[in-house]
A and B are shown apart, each in its own frame.
Chain A
Amino acid sequence: MRRTASLLAALLVAGCAASVSGQPAAQQPSRFYNVDTERRVEGVIREILLEPRYEDRSPFLILVLEEKKTGQRYKVELSPAWFFDQDLHQGEPVKIVGSFYVKDDNYFLIARELQAGGETFRLRDGRGFPNWRGGPMNRQGKRRGRGM
């Protein structure tokens, strides 16, 4: 009991220490989520890419989305490790709510909400902060109710 408690306490302290001593974000992402530029785009996934969006960062899942009404193509930035458990495919119709920006004449969206397969995935909260939490390991072992 004492051994387990001590080690758990050590884990907790380590977690706190990590949060205190965490390096400041030296390299800010090139784009922040801006709720004022949000737009809703309905289209079809034409291509799926895994690529780092920010220097030294984990790869993001990027969708090349063709808008249904206009044929305009957007590069949609979804999330990092979250995509390991969510499977999207070329040809799937989706609706995206996201922060829009233009760079080098290309249209980009940082996705906040993704509607696909009759389900809505909220990748960011209403203020644009990430909702995703790591990959498969990170979501194991949560005991918050029976069932789904």
Chain B
Amino acid sequence: MKKLTASVVLILGLAAAGPADTLNLSFFQNATDNLFQTRFAERDQLSNVAFSYDKAFRPFSLFTDGQYSYLYRNSEVSYYAQDLGLDYLHSFNEKTAFYAAAKAGGAVYRSDYSDFNYLQLGSVAAVKSYLTPASILKLNYAFDYKSFRYTLFDHHSHLVNLSLDRYFESRTTVKAEAGWGYKYFIHPFLLSAAAVEEPVYGMSGNGMGRGSGRMGWRGGMFRPDGSGQGQGIQIASLSGLIAQGVGDWLGFRVSAVRQWTLTGENPFSVIEEFYQVENPSYDLYSWNGCGLSGLLTIEGPWNTQLKMGYTKSLKDFPGIEALNLEGASVGAVRQDRRNQWDARLVKDFSAFSVVLGYSYVDNHSNDRLFDWRGHFLTVGVAWNLNWGGEK
């Protein structure tokens, strides 16, 4: 709680430090009955205090974000994340614009998770062009480098996306997108090095021999049969979207994605996702498969907006062996089938917004530890402060 208070003071101090073009403060309170997202559900609450600040330095603008998250029952996983960057926008002509940004950042976790402390460098370059008045072409490239305290997670990645859309008079937008990505783990996965250096984390013992407790790790994070080489994972994806507006107050969109792993596989022994706490074993590169989602947006009275979504996904995790609850292999790659329902209500006031969100996830996996269900609730408020900034 002291850290939470300190963060609030820090953020307010920053807010008072000088005139800002844009300053956003937010406080979100989250609750879940399954923080570590396994069949042995563990309840927790998270308080999240964040600030975002933008200032124009023509022709650049500076942005910085800070965020402190405090977990009540698993307070040793609490963390602070901060980044600082510059972005730049330029129009080549009336129809084509270029955007570039670079940032540095990092995160510091408390003791239970401190091996995942990281420093990050990132950059983005994007071009958006109106090919015709009703058709937009977008090309996006993102570079990311992360250096962890536990160096075996160090990696860099490159992601390219190309999208093309078309708007029709029926108020329908159709969009197609292709993506390619490459993630490279910088350090070689030497068996001896991994065996010696790999940290041993406490297993709280409710996993029936599979350690599904606090951090959920079961007997090491990297596979003992590491190839002895640095490892790259290459992915490609295709996705499509159809969006339709109905009147002034109703919009819906349906999208689908198919992703392939072209080369490489996960070097880990397990892939884990934690609610609101980044886990380096899980990201865009850790899976292949497909997903289908629908989103309904309803504009309500009194500046309210309700969004309701459903996502179904089928994901394989290459290189990850599915295990039974005793820790024995079931002879197959881990495969998850997930159904997720989301609802989000936002009420905008003059200078702030109130957000209420709820999600339910039903995850079926051939790895029984990851056969889980969970409820996630979010309540928050976000302020938009302008201290002497321009209108």
Residues of A bordering B, CB below 8 Å: 1, 3-5, 7-8, 11-12, 14-16, 18-25, 28-29, 32-33, 47-52, 56-59, 80-81, 83-84, 87, 89-93, 95, 115-120, 122, 124-138, 140-148
In the complex, residue of chain A having the shortest beta-carbon distance to the beta carbon of B343: A147
In the complex, residue of chain B having the shortest beta-carbon distance to the beta carbon of A121: B305
Neighbour of B17 across the interface among A5, A19, A122, A131, CB < 8 A: A19
Contact A11 B83 (CB under 8 A): yes
Contact A8 B20 (CB under 8 A): no
Q: For residue B254, give the distance in angstroms from its CB to the closest CB of chain A.
A: 14
Given A4-B117, A91-B167, A29 contacting B66 (CB threshold 8 A): no
* Residue contacts A-B, CB under 8 angstroms, 11 given: A11-B83, A20-B18, A87-B165, A89-B133, A91-B133, A119-B245, A126-B349, A133-B52, A138-B63, A138-B85, A147-B309
Residues of B with C-beta under 8 A to A93: 171
Q: For residue A99, give the distance in angstroms from its CB to the closest CB of chain B.
A: 9
Given A7-B119, A11-B105, A81-B87, A129 contacting B245 (CB threshold 8 A): no
Residues of A with C-beta under 8 A to B57: 22-23
Q: Is B169 an interface residue (CB 8 A)?
A: yes
Residues of B with C-beta under 8 A to A147: 309, 340, 342, 344, 357, 359, 376
In the complex, residue of chain A having the shortest beta-carbon distance to the beta carbon of B52: A133
Q: Is B2 an interface residue (CB 8 A)?
A: no
Contact A19 B55 (CB under 8 A): yes
Residues of B bordering A, CB below 8 Å: 10, 13-14, 17-22, 24, 26, 28, 30, 48, 50, 52-59, 61-67, 69, 80-85, 87-91, 93-97, 99, 101-108, 114, 117-119, 122-124, 126, 128, 130, 133-136, 138, 140, 142, 149, 165, 167, 169, 171, 173, 175, 243-252, 275-278, 295, 297, 299, 303, 305, 307, 309, 340, 342, 344, 348-351, 355, 357, 359, 361, 376, 378, 380, 384, 386, 389-391
Contact B384 A15 (CB under 8 A): no
Neighbour of B390 across the interface among A18, A19, A29, A127, CB < 8 A: A29
Contact A5 B108 (CB under 8 A): yes
Which of A51, A52, A89, A130 has the most C-beta atoms of chain B within 10 angstroms of its own C-beta? A89
Contact B245 A116 (CB under 8 A): yes
In the complex, residue of chain A having the shortest beta-carbon distance to the beta carbon of B144: A140
CA distance A14 to B53 in the complex (A): 12
Contact A8 B149 (CB under 8 A): no
Chain B interface, >50% SS class: strand
Contact A146 B103 (CB under 8 A): no
Residues of A with C-beta under 8 A to B351: 125-127, 129
Which of B54, B165, B359, B390 has the most C-beta atoms of chain A within 10 angstroms of its own C-beta? B390
Supplied contacts A146-B359, A148-B295, 16 more A-B pairs, CB within 8 Å? A1-B108, A16-B17, A22-B19, A33-B391, A57-B56, A83-B128, A87-B136, A87-B165, A87-B173, A89-B135, A90-B134, A133-B54, A137-B123, A140-B124, A146-B342, A146-B357
Residues of B with C-beta under 8 A to A133: 22, 24, 52, 54, 63
Given A14-B84, A134-B101, A146-B342, A115 contacting B299 (CB threshold 8 A): yes
Contact A125 B384 (CB under 8 A): yes
Residues of A with C-beta under 8 A to B63: 133-134, 138
CA distance A20 to B4 in the complex (A): 24
Contact B62 A18 (CB under 8 A): yes
Residues of A with C-beta under 8 A to B390: 25, 28-29, 32
Which of A25, A126, A147 has the most C-beta atoms of chain B within 10 angstroms of its own C-beta? A147
CA distance A136 to B97 in the complex (A): 13
Q: For residue A6, give the distance in angstroms from its CB to the closest CB of chain B.
A: 10
Given A87-B136, A144-B48, A15 contacting B84 (CB threshold 8 A): yes
Residues of A with C-beta under 8 A to B80: 8
Contact A50 B95 (CB under 8 A): yes
Neighbour of B89 across the interface among A122, A131, A135, CB < 8 A: A135
Q: For residue A62, give the distance in angstroms from its CB to the closest CB of chain B.
A: 9
Contact B391 A32 (CB under 8 A): yes
In the complex, residue of chain A having the shortest beta-carbon distance to the beta carbon of B161: A136
CA distance A125 to B382 in the complex (A): 12
Residues of A with C-beta under 8 A to B252: 118
Contact A4 B118 (CB under 8 A): yes
Contact B53 A19 (CB under 8 A): yes
Given A19-B53, A143-B278, A146-B275, A4 contacting B149 (CB threshold 8 A): yes
Which of A51, A57, A92, A125 has the most C-beta atoms of chain B within 10 angstroms of its own C-beta? A125
